[in-house]
Structure 1
Amino acid sequence: MPPTSRWATSSSSHVERGWRDLKTHLELRPVYHRLEHRIRAHVLLCWLALLLVRIVEIRTGRTWTDVRDDLQDLHVGVFTGPVGTFTQTSTPTPGARDALTALGVPPPKKILDLRLRPPPNWPTTPPTSEDLAVS
């Protein structure tokens, strides 16, 4: 087989795999747009999603499905109690930690947000300099 036809066959198989992945892994379905700028935006977003999938597969050496399954184990919970509210992430599983490391992404912080409620006997306005002056 001449080199150009080998390249064309290889290129064709990559394109076919890309379309198959767009329909299966990314679960894309036909979207009917009438305006040209919307069609272009849709195609660009699909292409970017496929590019991200390929980058993840190449950097991790694993399939997108396996990496996605591991990353879906990361969760965020919002907890509210009498003293306030905090937002906390789950501890990354070994698979999620390995995927994040291979991608060069730091693991999420344990506590994402902390909002404390002042006790009921605290003043509602901050103290002034006169309140803080020592007599």
Structure 2
Amino acid sequence: MLNLRPVYHSTDVGVKGHVFVCILALLLRRLMEKETGEPFESVFEELKELKVNVIDLEGEKIFQRNRLTSTQEDLLESLKVKRPPKILVNPE
């Protein structure tokens, strides 16, 4: 379902940008369903559990993600998405 309304933008550019983002989101949603063979809601529920903790160690930021479940690994593989690194130091 493509849900575009209400659109609270005051310019044509804003409205066009909103519609573009909505269509892009729908495309990504359908591609995820096609590649995984699963409904988007179940893919989203599984992947939203991926979390990142930010650790500030003497002014240096360290980003550490939680452990991937086997289902999450399978979904990422189906989507041809590289597995995110466990630890990332100063990604800027």
Whether the TM-score (by the shorter chain) exceeds 0.5 is yes
Letter of the aligned partner of 1:97 in structure 2? E
**Aligned alpha-carbon RMSD (Å):** 1.9
Displacement after TM superposition at 1:91 (Å): 1.2
1:96 to 69, 72, 76: 72
Counterpart of 1:48 in structure 2 is 24
Describe the shift of the 1:79–1:43 C-alpha distance in structure 2 as closer, same or farther (beyond 3 A).
same
**1:73 touches 1:93 (CA, 8 Å); kept in 2?**
no
Q: Secondary structure at the match of 1:67?
A: helix
Distance, in Å, in 2 between the alignment partners of 1:85 and 1:43 is 36
- The answer for the alignment partner of 1:58 in structure 2 is 34
Equivalent residues in 2 for 1:1-135, closer than 5 Å: 18-19=1-2, 22=3, 30-81=6-57, 85-113=61-89
Number of aligned residues: 89
- 3-state DSSP class of the match of 2:53? strand
Unaligned runs of at least 5 residues, structure 1: 1-17, 23-27, 115-135
* Greater relative contact order structure (CA < 8 Å, 6+ sep): 2
Whose Rg is larger?
Answer: 1
The structure in which a higher percent of residues are helix is 1
The runs of 4+ residues in structure 1 deviating greater than 3 Å are none
User: What letter corresponds to residue 53 of structure 1 in structure 2?
Assistant: R
Q: Give 5+ residue unaligned stretches, structure 2.
A: none
